[in-house]
Structure 1
Amino acid sequence: MSGKRRRMPVLAARQHRSGSVLMGILVLALAAAWAVQHATSAADYDSSATNRLSLVWAALFFVFMAQTLMYHLERPRRLTPRLARQLDELHVSILVPAYNEDPGYLRLGLESFLRQTRMPDSVHIVDDGSTSSDYAEIRDWWAWAAREAGITTTWQRVPNGGKRHAQAHAVRVSPEADIYITCDSDSCFAPNAVAEALAPFARPRVQSVAGIVIATNNRANLLARVTDLWFTTTQLVDRSGQSAVGAVMVNSGPLAAYRAGIIRDNLGSYLNETFMGRPVMFSDDSLLTLYAQERGLTVQQPSAVVFTAMPEKWSHFSRMYLRWMRGSTIRSVWRMKYLSPARPAFWLHMLRWFQMFLVQMVTVWLLVVEPIAFDNLPPASLLWVPFLIGWAQGLRYLGVIRSDERIRSRALTWLMMPLAIVMAWTALRWLRWYGIATCARTGWGTRQNGAEVSLGVPAAAPPVEPPVTKLYDLESENTLEIALPAR
């Protein structure tokens, strides 16, 4: 392929911690509490119903405030020079399974490995029998670029067997690895992602590390914006709270790191998981996280950021979300069966189900039972509660500073939180319960006919010179030239 290729900017991001974010969350939470109190007093409930609802609202706000405290306790692991030198001695292997991926996104991700401040020692790509492309040009370029950068690499093309089997092929050719970093074929690492993902492993008890996933295509359309807002907020709220006690329950596919023994020692059960007699083809990241939980701490490193392609069409999004909900149901069964009650992850898992059922019961009571049985519609002021809480938690989204987007654009996305709330309370709620009811359908369901999201640029390009790379400094807003480490 010839011609010029539009160059993507170097994507970088960091989390900005500010006391003003916490204050904003508390103010919006208090406003939500006031709305509840006003609605309860204004409604024509009898005294017993008012007392019951008051207890329920108090329980929900207690959970909300406890969650707020927990996710503000999360801190990225900082390294001393001595610990950094120790971690540099670890052999880090990146596993890249690819199936019908857009060539532009695949190349963008491979280029990001060459820009790391801490280079990976090896990268292993497995083409899982793609039918849309053989990636010949990308493969030839990558072999040259990896060699120039001093990165050991393999590129295998194998019969289609699913993501887990593709990862297993990569594991088998990297027996020297101390740390495995798993990613997707559309993952684009921020320049310090590998270094930051390694930092928590300075603690011997840490078994896995989750990165923060944000959208490469967050401004493609309204769905991509709202999905990026919802997904980023979920990570920086739910998962940050779990990380504060070393009990992250699900790592994300675009960026996660594991001690090598977690994957090697469980490879047999990982490849042969079944549920109700059927092989499970999805929820691989949550299963690896469960293996890690059984051995020690599972944490999130909010300074390890990866960009990935979010769905741009509802059909793609709904299939992805259904797969998540089915996998979440299966994984809940395994947590109940295999996790010890002595581990915080067990109780956080129970709390999540309690919270989900409590919210569902309150919703049905207010919107169905009261109007039909007692002819008592809930006051309009009650409608503000989910939006105020959503905006409060969504302030965490504004704390992610990106090199490719100005704060006013992110503020515009944050203001769209009511759309995310409405989507969560309608379509996603139905999909959740449908996913729970159909959890025995364990097929993957996407990319059967090729990539569903395209970068929109050709895959071929003039060679990237590995010895020198340009990084965008988020603090000074300058572009820096940094020499890659000699190998």
Structure 2
Amino acid sequence: MSGRRRRIPVLAARQHRSGTVLMGIFVLGLAAAWAAHHALVASDWNSRTTSRLSMVWLALFFVFMAQTLMYHLERPRRLTPRLARQLDELHVSILVPVYNEDPGYLKLGLESFLRQTRLPNSVHIVDDGSTSSDYAEVRAWWEQAARQAGVATSWQRVPNGGKRHAQAHAVRVSSDADIYITCDSDSCFAPDAVAEVLAPFTRPRVQSVAGIVIATNNRANLLARITDLWFTTTQLVDRSGQSAVGAVMVNSGPLAAYRADVVRDNLGSYLNETFMGRPVMFSDDSLLTLYAQERGLTVQQPSAVVFTAMPEKWSHFSRMYLRWMRGSTIRSVWRMKYLSPARPAFWLHLLRWFQMFLVQMVTVWLLLVEPLAFNNLPPASMLWVPFLIGWAQGLRYLGIIRSDERIRSRALTWLMMPLAIVLAWTVLRWLRWYGIVTCARTGWGTRQNGAEVSLNGSTPTPPTAPAPMDRPPAPAQHAKLLDPYSEQTLEISLRPR
């Protein structure tokens, strides 16, 4: 990419459902019929093969069809004038932790807060001991702009303690908030993101709301395109299905909203979480989501869109993905321990593990066991089934209309779905299992040497000294920072079932 600063227009996006839903149902039906046909072909290899594979294929088929039905049931929450007035009375605070962020991305995000159709009541920025910049120019601009817009704000610079500690500092100065919106320092909200993410809170049982995350830099290179395609489709398939039953399991860091009591009442355990005796420095969004699940419904609002910077280098992506997989493993332990079987999230969590193990076993069986032990080669046409399903589900990606990209560019990205599937079935699968095995490594792992993605496309200049983000604070200092909301160090403060 060029080292010159790229012109970034006002970023906006919306979900367009009608055509995509019809096409999705049609193509998914064809893909399901194709998969069922080849499942029958596989069952006819011989009598022994029938007993080995028939039930497995049947289980995968029903899981796939149930998932398809669930994500088509999701609908964005719409407001009546009366409900809109109720939401206007809520005090909404945006919490912005900053650590070694690119100043261009930080300013882009802050500008987006002031363009909202529903302005936040307050925005609280916490610089968590950044070593790459002091953000003096951005801070001076922001404080003046926020004051002119009538948005209350604070900007703190604190010793490095991790993202959760930065959020806690922001919570302490916004004790009158009714809703906390959490975001990342490179988040850029679509103009109606705040209004849309608040809409589901008109239902008293809703405790948290996830937004839809898409890439600001989706055309930077091939990796950014594939990541945007994979991540957006996953949200509009897996997470939309969870949202249909009020059981979103992980909110995304770039945009999520919580009832304030969910955050304040659990702040002690949020800051003190340990796993195998080690402080957990990541998976903060999934832990907040778990707190919300204990109290009620966790949903997604597909009309609340946020832009964020996706990795542009493989080293950055792999470290980020490993962190996600390690965090997912830790969170699975907590869900098993603390979530009640009466919660849909408990069973969806078990179903996800069942599906993952079953797919892994089927893959190994078809590619290794059948050819070597039984001299049965799977039909070559069966290799097309994952791609058909991927393209069908990827039509949801085309349903996101962006202000900065033409539909033909998004169609080009959609055509790259086979690359995303091959990546998911090979390298990412290995990273997933490696993350599960190494889940005790609870350090952050990225941005130690400054921002890894820059808005102007140039390589960020590393700081003169390594950042301490990946090193947990010393125990005494850790306890001192965490104790304002808790007198003791807890592993986690959830109610066991």
TM-score of the alignment, normalized to the shorter chain, above 0.5? yes
Deviations 1:401-422 (A, max 9, x none): 1111111111111110000000
Tell me the equivalent position of 2:243.
Answer: 243
1:276-291 pair list within 5 angstroms: 276-291=276-291
Give the alignment's TM-score, normalised by structure 1.
0.91
Tell me the equivalent position of 1:62.
Answer: 62
Asked whether the 8 Å contact 2:5–2:455 carries over to 1, the reply is: no
Asked whether the 8 Å contact 1:179–1:258 carries over to 2, the reply is: yes
Asked whether the 8 Å contact 1:109–1:185 carries over to 2, the reply is: yes
Cα distance in structure 2, aligned partners of 1:22 and 1:329:
36
Tell me by how many angstroms 1:39 deviates. 6.7
Tell me the equivalent position of 2:481.
Answer: none
Tell me by how many angstroms 1:35 deviates. 4.9
Tell me the equivalent position of 1:401.
Answer: 401
Asked whether the 8 Å contact 1:106–1:185 carries over to 2, the reply is: yes
**SS at 1:8 equivalent:** coil
Tell me the equivalent position of 1:166.
Answer: 166
Q: Taking structure 1 as reference, are residues 6 and 31 closer, same or farther at Cα in structure 2, changes over 3 Å only? A: closer
Tell me the equivalent position of 2:10.
Answer: 10
Tell me the equivalent position of 2:227.
Answer: 227
Asked whether the 8 Å contact 1:73–1:241 carries over to 2, the reply is: yes
Tell me the equivalent position of 1:461.
Answer: none
Q: Taking structure 1 as reference, are residues 310 and 6 closer, same or farther at Cα in structure 2, changes over 3 Å only? A: closer
Asked whether the 8 Å contact 2:24–2:396 carries over to 1, the reply is: no
* Corresponding position: 1:271 with 2:271: yes
Cα distance in structure 2, aligned partners of 1:20 and 1:135:
42
Asked whether the 8 Å contact 2:126–2:158 carries over to 1, the reply is: yes
Cα distance in structure 1, aligned partners of 2:348 and 2:160:
36
Tell me the equivalent position of 2:385.
Answer: 385
Deviations 1:366-385 (A, max 9, x none): 00101111222211101001
* Corresponding position: 1:140 with 2:114: no
Tell me the equivalent position of 2:188.
Answer: 188
* Corresponding position: 1:353 with 2:376: no
Cα distance in structure 1, aligned partners of 2:107 and 2:12:
17
1:307 partner letter: F
Tell me the equivalent position of 1:418.
Answer: 418
1:258 partner letter: Y
Cα distance in structure 1, aligned partners of 2:173 and 2:390:
45
Asked whether the 8 Å contact 1:43–1:379 carries over to 2, the reply is: no
Cα distance in structure 1, aligned partners of 2:362 and 2:457:
48
Deviations 1:45-93 (A, max 9, x none): 3223124323222211111111111111111000111111111010000
Tell me the equivalent position of 1:452.
Answer: 452
Cα distance in structure 2, aligned partners of 1:72 and 1:248:
15
Cα distance in structure 2, aligned partners of 1:457 and 1:319:
20
Give the alignment's TM-score, normalised by structure 2.
0.89
Q: Which runs of 5+ in 2 are unaligned?
A: 459-497
Asked whether the 8 Å contact 2:105–2:455 carries over to 1, the reply is: yes
Tell me by how many angstroms 1:432 deviates. 0.2
Asked whether the 8 Å contact 1:276–1:440 carries over to 2, the reply is: yes
Extract structure 1 runs of 4+ deviating beyond 4 A.
4-7
Tell me by how many angstroms 1:6 deviates. 5.9
Cα distance in structure 2, aligned partners of 1:24 and 1:141:
45
2:226 partner letter: V
Tell me the equivalent position of 2:370.
Answer: 370
Q: Which runs of 5+ in 1 are unaligned?
A: 459-487
Asked whether the 8 Å contact 2:197–2:211 carries over to 1, the reply is: yes
Asked whether the 8 Å contact 1:44–1:376 carries over to 2, the reply is: no
Tell me by how many angstroms 1:42 deviates. 6.8
1:62-101 pair list within 5 angstroms: 62-101=62-101
Q: Which moved more, 1:375-384 or 1:289-298?
A: 375-384
Tell me the equivalent position of 2:208.
Answer: 208
Cα distance in structure 1, aligned partners of 2:42 and 2:270:
55
Q: Taking structure 1 as reference, are residues 76 and 27 closer, same or farther at Cα in structure 2, changes over 3 Å only? A: same
Asked whether the 8 Å contact 2:211–2:306 carries over to 1, the reply is: yes
Tell me the equivalent position of 1:324.
Answer: 324
2:27 partner letter: V
Cα distance in structure 2, aligned partners of 1:225 and 1:41:
36
Tell me by how many angstroms 1:27 deviates. 2.9
Asked whether the 8 Å contact 1:16–1:401 carries over to 2, the reply is: yes
Asked whether the 8 Å contact 1:132–1:449 carries over to 2, the reply is: yes
Asked whether the 8 Å contact 2:93–2:121 carries over to 1, the reply is: yes
Tell me by how many angstroms 1:347 deviates. 0.5
Cα distance in structure 1, aligned partners of 2:367 and 2:225:
29
**SS at 1:294 equivalent:** helix
2:251 partner letter: N
Asked whether the 8 Å contact 2:188–2:307 carries over to 1, the reply is: yes
Tell me the equivalent position of 2:469.
Answer: none
Cα distance in structure 1, aligned partners of 2:118 and 2:250:
25
Asked whether the 8 Å contact 2:112–2:191 carries over to 1, the reply is: yes
Tell me by how many angstroms 1:41 deviates. 2.4
**SS at 1:204 equivalent:** coil
Tell me by how many angstroms 1:37 deviates. 2.4
Aligned residue-pair number: 455
**SS at 2:200 equivalent:** helix
Tell me by how many angstroms 1:24 deviates. 3.7
Cα distance in structure 1, aligned partners of 2:272 and 2:411:
45
Asked whether the 8 Å contact 2:99–2:128 carries over to 1, the reply is: yes
Deviations 1:284-316 (A, max 9, x none): 000000000000000000000000000000000
1:345 partner letter: A
